[in-house]
Amino acid sequence: MKSVQEPVKPTGFNLLDYDRKGLAAFFVGLGEKPFRATQILKWIYQEGVEDFDLMTNLSKPLRSYLKENCYLATPEIVVEQIASDGTRKWAMQTRCGNRIESVFIPEEGRGTLCVSSQIGCALACTFCSTAQQGFNRNLTTSEIIGQVIIAQKRLGSSKKITNVVMMGMGEPLLNFDNVVAAMNLMMDDFTFGLSKRRVTISTSGVVPAMYRLTGACDVSLAVSLHAVTDELRDELVPINKKYPLKELMEACRDNAKLAPRRTVTFEYVMLDGINDSMQDAKGLIKLLKTVPSKLNLIPFNPFPNNAYRCSSNEVINRFKTVLNDAGIVTTVRKTRGEDIDAACGQLVGQVEDKSRRHLKLKVVGSERVA
């Protein structure tokens, strides 16, 4: 495999690091009017113009300032994998040479992009392969919004990204400011204009940041629950030791108060013999009755060096029926992109599995796979 050349980081401001508010403050700092922010957002995100010289509604001195001091940079796709079900996984390289992964899941009438928020993850959830690589660093706003920009560019106009889920690598609420700025950008009318119902942040339960989010950015909330007792959740999702279930559910109730009919989606990975008994189902009913909620059961996706197994289909379906019968809207997440390890919990970024030669791999950029 050829190694990708380490790009040199340009100096100055990457304008993709700012949401509209940030850009307005940036332009005011230059003695310009705040509306320059919307002008430049339109050029970048709607017109796809990267050359400041072509931004003709900006004054010549401003254009030349931007040319001298600013740049636009996103991660680059280095490998693209396409699963038999149409799911695409991209390994993207950041400008400092790190790898991140994003996944596009096409469905009837919509296209969901699963976006990463950190390189690695610090949370050590025992059933997640991202946890195995430990934590490296937070992604910048431009590296987060850049995943959406690059994915949409690669997909072309025929496949539109209609939904974004912050469910890739990392814990988004531990990278609060950059994730919020990137989500603001996704929802901005002058960029992608996604509605708040179509942008979802998933958290393992960083309780103080959940309260902060309620005030800062109105997006859909998903919570990785996975267990109904503190004893088991302490083991599966260790951040539970810091923020136990009682506090977590209180934060969820607080979020649900944001609007009438608002619900929190709870994610629950189905682990054979661990959290899939009828007693667990009953505990789940009791817990979820305290919050306006929906439940998403996730079949466990296996990965190397991990002893968990996925519950059988029979057990998952029984679980689902019991919960639905108790009035909790419950769905089973369809596993997508299995043959390219693109499913939940399988994103590993820098760790490359060269044995998967039978897959349809496309070579993008300068890297050759297989």
Q: Among all residues, which ones are annotated catalytic? A: 101, 344
Distance of closest approach, residue 202 Cβ to ligand SAH, in angstroms: 4
Residue whose CB is nearest to ligand SAH in the complex, by number: 345
Identity of the residue, 38 or 306, whose beta carbon is nearer to ligand SAH in the bound complex = 306
Residue 36 or 88: the one with the smaller Cβ distance to ligand SAH is 88
Of 111 and 299, nearer to ligand SAH (C-beta) is 299
Residue numbers of the site for ligand SAH (CB under 6 A)? 125, 127-128, 167, 171, 202-204, 224, 267, 269, 298, 300-301, 344-345
Task: Tell me the backbone φ, ψ of residue 38, rounded to 5 degrees.
Answer: -70, -35
Q: Which amino acid is at 305?
A: N
Structure tokens at 265: 């989606």
Q: What is the CA radius of gyration of the chain?
A: 21
Largest CA distance in the chain: 69
In whole angstroms, how close is the CB of 240 to ligand SAH at the nearest point? 11
Please say whether the beta carbons of 185 and 132 come within 8 A: no
Interstrand relation of 264-270 and 99-107 (parallel, antiparallel or unpaired): unpaired
Of 236 and 369, nearer to ligand SAH (C-beta) is: 236
Q: What is the nearest approach in angstroms of ligand SAH to the Cβ of residue 29?
A: 34
Q: Please list the residues that pair with 299 across neighbouring strands.
A: 270
Tokens 């960083």 sit on residue: 206
Helices marked H in 74-218: 129-132, 141-155, 176-187, 207-216
CB of 203 to ligand SAH, least distance (A): 5
> What would the DSSP string read from start to end of 57-97?
TS-HHHHHHHHHHEE----EEEEEEE-TTS-EEEEEE-TTS
The upper half-sphere exposure of residue 319, i.e. CA atoms within 13 Å in the direction of its Cβ, equals: 28
DSSP helix/strand/coil, 223:
strand
Min separation Cβ 204 and ligand SAH, Å: 4
* Contact yes or no for 301/347 (Cβ under 8 A): no
* Nearer residue to ligand SAH within complex by CB, 39 or 204: 204
